[in-house]
Structure formats: structure tokens, C-alpha cells
Amino acid sequence: MGIIAKIQYYSGEYEKADFLYKEIIAIYETEPDHAEVGIALNNLALLYLGSGDFKKAEQLFNKALVICEKLLDPEDPTVAVILNNLGLISFNLGENTKAERLYLKALNISEKTLGPEHPTIAMILNNLGLIYLDSDKYKMAEQVYKKALVINKNILGPEDVEVAKNLLNLASCYYKMGDNDQTKTLYIQALAIFENELEDDDPLLARARNNLAILYDDLGNDSKAEQLHLRALYAREKAVDPNLFDIAESLNNLGAFYIKIEKYIKAEKLLNRALKINIKLLGDEHIRVATAQGNLAFIYAQLGEYKKAQKYYENSFALYKKIFGSEHSEVSDMMINLALFYASQDNLTKAFQLTMQAQKINTKLIDYVTGFSSDKRKLNFLISKEKSLHLTLSFLFQPTLSHDLSVQKDILNVWLKRKGLILETQKKYHEALFYSDNKEISQAAMELSKIRSKLSKLVFSTLDQEDEGTYKNEIAQLENQKGELEATLSKLSKVFATEQKKSNVTCVKLAQTMPSNTVLVDFARISQFNFKNKNNDQIWLPDRYIAFIIHSGKGDEIDWIDLGPADDIDTAISAFRKMLAGANTDMTGEKVNNLNKLYTMIFQPLKSKIGNTKELFISPDGDLSLLPFEVLLNNYDKFLIEDYTFNCLSAGRDILGFGETIEKRNKSLIIGNPNFNINNEQKRTIINNLELKKHDGKSIAKRSKDIPSSSSWQSLPGTQDEVQAIHNIIGKDKAELFTGKKAMEETLMYWGVPKILHLATHGFFLENRPIDFKNNNVINRGFSLQEPTDQIISPSPISVDTENPLLRSGIVLAGANKILNTENDTISDGIVTSEEILGMNLRGTEMVVLSACDTGLGEVKNGEGVFGLRRAFTQAGAKSLVMSMWKVPDKETKELMVNFYSNIYKKGMNRSQALRQATLKQMQITKDRYKNKNPYFWGAFVFMGEPYL
């Protein structure tokens, strides 16, 4: 009976197989303690797994596991198979950590009982690879896929079909890593094996061609993509037993390809064929039907058949809502597509309504994703929602809506919630989960993360014939659990409660919270939707900068300004940065003109909206994040710092977190004038003599491959005087000072949570360009890259980079010259990257002062800020930050910093006012010393965060 049941299962006769397996179980259950019951339960569970009933399958697999572990050896291969199957269930339920644990246990048993090379081991490794891919652990996925490939090659030979399947898995890994060359090589190898071993109409061969076609499409090789799509379709249509599902897939993919290359007539024919097949196979209320109708709607809009387009868009939208419910990612995307269509037909009111509905859905979806997934996944998801965000902002440019205050407020509220969202969610979970001594808080945070993971799996899943009621009920249950856990965390954790308050920001709430007599200027770099576009000629216009203005206490009187083309402003900022690249003491006419130009472009348009208010909160975007507004020169040759106090913010909603109670903290920590030339043995001796909280003797983290291994960091004599003076100002009983040989990476990382952290040393930021060490007559606190060019230093699009940008910025501490030249990984190298800073606990640190070069720089990502030291210290928990925007001179920096601390501790100024007054004094010193007010010597430092602590 078991053999017959298996035959029926593999033949697709699931109901008959189900009946037989249940009969087998009933027979064997009359004989207690029979292992065959466990095996039959496992096979029955496979049926439920295949039908998508994961909960029922999990119950049966667990019963099977209990029986087989009891009656067989706990390390029997059958037990490993059941564990593997349970891993599949956990993966499908979004429980990747649990799935990984089950797979690893199954792998361990299989390697013990079957030896290191066996098809079962290769199968488990492939499943592990899928977990790692889904968790964005690409290197781990690559390792297990390679191991599985080697096993199958050794057992089956290099030309076996199973080897080709392994090659496809490895190719998918490289595809996600962005390595298109490796992806293509492996796809071609797999395709060659399939073509050798399989008939031309084999489904596996067709699928390989289909996947390779999609890759060529991505690479822009349209001729090869079209050829492979056509061959895949032809093979599927000519198969002895044609699979209509596969044919519909090929028709859809080829149709999508023709849409991309604007061959709409061909696309329309193919997609109509796919639609008919899908309706025949699946009925007229299926996701594939809804998708086909949406694609056809787009085609008809491009062909000018607007009535047809509207009909298909509305039908598709209605189906998406019926299938997925009203709050699914696919539904929000379809809302945006429909909104774009209405906008093209000048129905802007309807378009705006749909766009705002989509934004409400997206806010929830972003919350799900940012709550648990990796940076890459978060960034990629935000890319997918970027179009809808920019469309929302573009409505400001439409005369029929732009003067409507309610429209302006709705748009601003979307921007306030979205800007810098990844950083905020990282901070929230970083603090609540990892830095709480309260087990109840940690447990609740972990449970919330799991709930978000499950919700994300559900709302981003592609459904075939999912039970609609079950799906919606599960979403509702998870949403209720999520709400309860958030309420619990808000009661238990002040940090979490504050971050929740910030996530619910509106312009009215923000204005009510802002300190009196202040103005928030929130900048956005946006792509402007072309509402006049009718035939796909130019859907998006060049980027522009806009600025929102909110006055304290006046949330109902918000305003906005169009500052003009973003490229023009970025070009001017690039020229400004080039101007300050050298240490020339002159204040030339070119410098004056450049600073005047930036003032005219960026600040002058804001003046009438700002009014007489002199204290400004600035939340920059794009390359504006690299600009100290203080150094802009007005039409009366006055620098803006002479009239205004600027407080920089990552996002405007940060103001809602002001006044939060600071938790326990130590004294202040001051580190400066490191001895860059101490060796390993000297460093190890010092570490042993220092009483640091943790140190395991291992290297803390990796660094960028472009940080030179043979460098010569110059000593900074000014930093010794600086940190000694600051130590005296704060008070020796309230701060600890580490200099010379003791100014080590270990001191910074393991000393504890300081009230204030002051670092006076070299800083660096690498811009993916060769390093050029420069000598001039001014000692500065960093090393130089190539001179900035006349090209725009344009913000990077939000995307996955080949190297983590947080590895390309950092600070330099003791031993960097000696230890970088060795391969010893048992001691830190003295290079502290932003990535390492993320591992610190600065919860309770009121301020971090980075008295070094380039500490405010990093990789600019529109809408997400600067990925560098400023982001790392903020995410680690620091409430405020003082950072530099260029290479700062040693002597002038010492003077400015001493005055800054004197203003705080002797004159009682708040931190931003203290920095402003110190900067104004340094400006006067510069004028007396160099006979001009060149901002190179006084204007690099910017205050970011809460000033009133």
C-alpha cells in the first residue's frame, strides 16, 4: 500500500494517496510502537505541505518525529528527513532561525550516518542555501550551494541534471549578490547540461532558458533575451504533454519583455493569450488573471485606448483587493498604477486620493519589513516604493492642488514618516532588544520581530489558490498580536514608546512639540512625475530640491518652496567642496562667489517663509547633507552663522524624541593624540593593564579593502593640548582621559557608556577612488583622496553596493601604522570603521564629538541620509553629534573645541549655541591670523541632534 500511495503521490493523484496513507496509519496504529506509522505520517504530511496547509503538515511531521526518534535511533536517516521537512515548514512560515536550526540538525545526523557525500546531504545543503538567500546571508548561501555542487558532481558526475540544478541555485545566489557575470556563466553551464541530457521540450530546459532570458533582459541584451524567451515558449508549446501553466508563464514573460522594449502590439497579443489560458485553468478571480489585466491596461494606455485601459485597470485593482485584502503590497502597487493612469487623464483628484490610500498601506508594509530584515532588503524594498513616494510629492507642483493646505499637509505627513525610516527602526530595535537588562522587554521585542517577519511573509507572498478567508484571518490575528506587543513594549520601554511616538508623526504634532521661536526646514530631493506625459515619452522629469517649512506652534500653517533643479544645486555644492579641498588660506573672489551662489540657490528662497526666526532645525537630503549652512554668504557678505543658529537633524520627526530621559551612564570619555606606532606586544601589555569591561583578544571587525595597509598616519600634537584642556574643563572627577599608547580601539569599544564621548584623532572617508596622500604646510586630521572634480557628487540611488559603505569611513587610533602591516587577527588594527561603531552601546550618551577630518561624510542615499560615522554613532544611541564636513586643520580645531566646551561648562550654553559661539570666535581668530574669514579654518563642524540636554 505504501508503494501504491507513493506512486499516486508522484503521479499527482493526491486524494487517492491521502486516502491510502490514512489507511496505512489506521492499520499500523492497531500495532503499537510501529515505526511505519511515523513514516506514513511523514508521507501524509508531505501531501499537506504540497497543498499549502502548513499547520496541518507541521502537526503531522512533529508526530512522525516523536515516533521515529522513539522507535528508531535518534540519529537514524529517517529522523534527518523529517527534520528537513519540518525545516521546509518553518521556512514557509517565515521562521528562518528555526528552519536553519532544523536543517543543521538534519545535516549533522546525515553526515554521521551517511558519510560526508550523499544526495540527501546535498538536498539539505540546498535547503539551507535557500534560508541564507532569504535572510540576505549571501556568502553563507554561496558556501553551502558550492558544497552541495561538489557533492553531486562527485557522486553523479559533472554532467548530471542534478548538478545543473545546483548550478541554477548558485546562479540565483550570485544574481542576488549583483554578480551578473558569475550568474550568466552558471546559467550557461546549467543550460548546456540540460540541452545535452534532456529533450528539447523538457520543462527543466525551458525553465533554464526562461531564467537566462530574464538575466539577459536585466543586462540589456535584448536580442539574446528575446531569442531565449521565444525558444522557451516554443519548447513548452511543442511538448508531448504541454503544461498550460508553463506556457502562460512564457507568454507573460515574453509579453513583459515586449512592453519593456515598447513593442506594445506584440505584447498585447501574447498577454491576451496568457489571460485566456489563466482564466481557463484558474477561473476569472485569480492573481495571474489580475496581473495579466494590469499589464494589458498599461499596454492599452500606451496605445491610446484609454477606455479599455481604464476598464482593465479597474478590473485588475478589484481582483487584487478581493484576493489579497485591502492592505497588501500588490494592492498598493496597483493603486499607484491606477493613480498614474488617472493622472495621465488629468483626473488629479482621483489620482491623489488613490496615491494617499497607497501610502497608508505602504506605511504598514514598511513597518513590517524594517522591523526585522537586513539593510539590503530594507533598502531594496524602499526602492520598490520610491515611485509612489515621488509621485506623492509631485502633486505639489500641480496648480489645482498645490495651494490646497490639506493636500500640502497630507503630502508633508507622508514625507515626515518616510524620511530616514531605516535608521529610526534600526535604532528602535537596537536599543529595545539588545541594550535592555529587562528580560521582559527583550522577550517582547524578539516576539514582535517574529510577528513582523510572519506578517511580511504573508503580505508579500504570491498566492495561487490560497483560501481567502484563512489568509485574511491570519493577517488580522497577527496584526492584533503585533498591536498588543507594541503596547506592552511602550509601557515597559521609554525608548520604544518614544520611537513609536515618532513613527506616528504629523506636521501638527511636530509643530506643537517644537521649541518656541524655532523653524523646521525639511528638504527633499525628488523625482518629479510628468503629469503632462501621455505616451510614455518622459514619465519622470529631472530631480528637484524642495523644502517644507514648519513654524513652532503653527502646524496648520505649513509651507513649501521649490528650490529648482537638483543637479544645478549639487554642481554648486561640488564646486564648494573642491574649493575647500586644499589648505589655501586666501579668501579668493571665487570662494566668495561660490558661497554667494549657494546662498542664492538654497537659502534666499526660504527667507520670506522663515521670517524673523533665528533658530533653525535643518533636515537635509541628497548632497545638501554634505553642506554646512553656516558658511553660506548672503548678499551683504555676512555668513549665515552670524545671524542664525542651525541644528541639523536626520529627520524632522526627531524633534518628537527631545526631552527623553537619559538612562544610566558613566563619566565622560576623552580619547586623543593616539600613538599610531605602537606594536602588537606593546598594545597587548597595555590592554592587560587597563580594566576594560570586555575583551576577548580577537579582532573586532573587518575594514574596507581600500584602506591602505602601508600607511603613515602623522601625529597630531594639537590634539594633546585639546584633550588635556577639555579634561580640565569637564573636571577630572567627571571624565577619563586616554592619550598616546592608551588611545586604543579597545579603550573606545569596551570602556562603557560615557556621558560625553570626545575623539580627537584622524578621520577618513573613502569615496571609491584611489587614495592620494598629500603634503602641505597645514597639519590636518585625516588622509586625502583625489581632488574633487568638477563633476557632480551626486547622491547614490538606494541600492545594494559591492562593499558596505560603513566600512569606508572611520577614525584612527593607536597602533594603526604598525598593526595594519601585519596579518595578526588576534588584536585590533587601530582602524575603527563605522561598521564597528554599530556594535557599541551608546544608549545614555548625550553627545559624541568627532574632532577629526571628514567625520560627517559618507555615502549619500536620497531620503535615507548619509551612511558613515554620523549614521553609526546615531544608531548606536548617541543623542547628539558634532562632526566635520571636510579635512580640518589641527591648530584651529583645537582652539574651536576648547572654546566649545568652555561655552557649555563655564557659560551654561546649550550645545548648538555653544558650537555657534565657538565658531564665531574662531572666525574672528581666522580673520586676525590670516586677514580673511576663510571658512576652511572655522566652518567645518556641524551640530546634529538634540541641543538642549
Q: What is the number of other CB atoms lying within 10 angstroms of the CB of residue 101? A: 15
Please give the pLDDT value at position 684.
Answer: 80
Higher pLDDT, 111 or 836: 111
270: confidence class by pLDDT, cuts 50, 70, 90: very high
Higher pLDDT, 329 or 22: 329
The pair phi, psi for residue 565, each rounded to 5°, is -55, 130
- Cα 536 from Cα 522, distance rounded (Å): 32
* pLDDT above 90 coverage of the chain, percent: 43
Q: Indicate the range of 1-15, 37-51, 168-182 predicted with least confidence.
A: 1-15
Q: Burial, 234: exposed, middle or buried (Cβ in 10 Å; 0-12, 13-18, 19+)?
A: middle
286: confidence class by pLDDT, cuts 50, 70, 90: confident
Q: Where on the phi/psi map is residue 672: left (φ > 0), alpha (ψ -120 to 50), or beta?
A: beta
User: Cβ distance 753 to 665 under 8 Å?
Assistant: yes
* Mean pLDDT of the region 407-414: 94
Please give the pLDDT value at position 8.
Answer: 38
Please give the pLDDT value at position 511.
Answer: 94
* Gyration radius (Cα) of the chain, Å: 31
- Cα 720 from Cα 327, distance rounded (Å): 58
| Residues in CB range of 259: below 8 A, 6 or more apart | 267, 295, 298, 299
Please give the pLDDT value at position 23.
Answer: 56
In this model, does residue 434 exceed pLDDT 60?
no
Q: What is the pLDDT of residues 880-928, one digit of tens each?
A: 999 999 988 889 999 999 999 999 999 999 999 999 999 999 999 999 9
Higher pLDDT, 755 or 383: 755
At 313, list the grid cell: 485597470
Please give the pLDDT value at position 30.
Answer: 54
Q: Burial, 71: exposed, middle or buried (Cβ in 10 Å; 0-12, 13-18, 19+)?
A: middle
In this model, does residue 564 exceed pLDDT 90?
yes
481: confidence class by pLDDT, cuts 50, 70, 90: confident
In this model, does residue 771 exceed pLDDT 60?
no
In this model, does residue 44 exceed pLDDT 80?
no
Q: What is the pLDDT of residues 727-751, one digit of tens each?
A: 999 999 999 999 999 999 888 988 8
Q: What is the pLDDT of residues 513-562, one digit of tens each?
A: 999 999 999 999 999 988 877 655 678 899 999 999 999 999 888 999 99
User: Cβ distance 383 to 798 under 8 Å?
Assistant: yes
Q: What is the number of other CB atoms lying within 10 angstroms of the CB of residue 70? A: 11
Helix %, strand %, coil % for the chain, to 5? 60, 10, 30
Beta bridge partners of 860: 866
Q: What is the pLDDT of residues 678-726, one digit of tens each?
A: 887 877 877 777 765 544 443 344 444 445 444 578 888 889 999 999 9
Please give the pLDDT value at position 26.
Answer: 52
Most confident of 441-445, 689-693, 931-935: 931-935
* Mean pLDDT of the region 846-857: 91
- Cα 535 from Cα 283, distance rounded (Å): 33
User: Cβ distance 215 to 187 under 8 Å?
Assistant: yes
Q: Which of 719, 780, 726, 713 is nearest to 757 (CA)?
A: 726
Please give the pLDDT value at position 22.
Answer: 54
In this model, does residue 197 exceed pLDDT 70?
yes
pTM for this prediction? 0.76
* pLDDT above 70 coverage of the chain, percent: 80
Diameter of the chain measured on Cα atoms: 102
Q: Indicate the range of 35-39, 190-194, 369-373 predicted with least confidence.
A: 369-373
Pure H helices in 371-438: 375-384, 386-394, 399-402, 405-418, 421-429
* Mean pLDDT of the region 81-101: 86
The pair phi, psi for residue 695, each rounded to 5°, is -170, 125
Residue corresponding to grid cell 575623539 = 759
DSSP state at residue 302: H
Measured between its terminal Cα atoms, the distance across the chain in Å is 76
Q: What is the pLDDT of residues 210-260, one digit of tens each?
A: 888 988 888 889 999 999 999 999 989 888 778 888 899 999 999 999 999
CA torsion sign for 211, 216, 219, 222 is negative
Q: Indicate the range of 344-358, 438-452, 638-652, 767-781 predicted with least confidence.
A: 767-781
Residue 127 half-sphere exposure, CB side, CA atoms within 13 Å? Answer: 27
628: confidence class by pLDDT, cuts 50, 70, 90: very high
DSSP state at residue 704: -
In this model, does residue 431 exceed pLDDT 90?
no
SS3 866: strand
Q: Indicate the range of 21-30, 517-526, 575-584 predicted with least confidence.
A: 21-30
* Mean pLDDT of the region 424-453: 66
In this model, does residue 606 exceed pLDDT 60?
yes
* Mean pLDDT of the region 7-11: 43
Higher pLDDT, 323 or 107: 107
Please give the pLDDT value at position 862.
Answer: 81
**Range 398-406, long-range pairs (CB < 8 A, 24+ positions):** 398/348, 398/531, 400/348, 400/349, 401/348, 401/349, 401/352, 405/556, 405/558
573: confidence class by pLDDT, cuts 50, 70, 90: very high
SS3 541: strand
Please give the pLDDT value at position 915.
Answer: 97
847: confidence class by pLDDT, cuts 50, 70, 90: very high
* Mean pLDDT of the region 53-57: 77
- Secondary structure E strands in 506-558: 518-529, 540-551
* Mean pLDDT of the region 123-152: 90
787: confidence class by pLDDT, cuts 50, 70, 90: very low
Please give the pLDDT value at position 935.
Answer: 92
- Cα 895 from Cα 918, distance rounded (Å): 9
Higher pLDDT, 448 or 351: 351
Pure H helices in 283-385: 287-302, 306-324, 329-344, 348-370, 375-384
Please give the pLDDT value at position 879.
Answer: 92
- Could you give the dihedral angle defined by the CA atoms of residues 928, 933, 937 and 940, in that order, rounded to the nearest 10 degrees? 150
Counting runs of H as helices and runs of E as strands, what totals does the chain give?
Answer: 38, 16
Most confident of 285-299, 821-835, 913-927: 913-927
User: Cβ distance 747 to 736 under 8 Å?
Assistant: no
The pair phi, psi for residue 93, each rounded to 5°, is -90, 5
Q: Which of 834, 765, 864 is nearest to 376 (CA)?
A: 864
In this model, does residue 611 exceed pLDDT 80?
yes
Higher pLDDT, 14 or 123: 123
Please give the pLDDT value at position 502.
Answer: 73
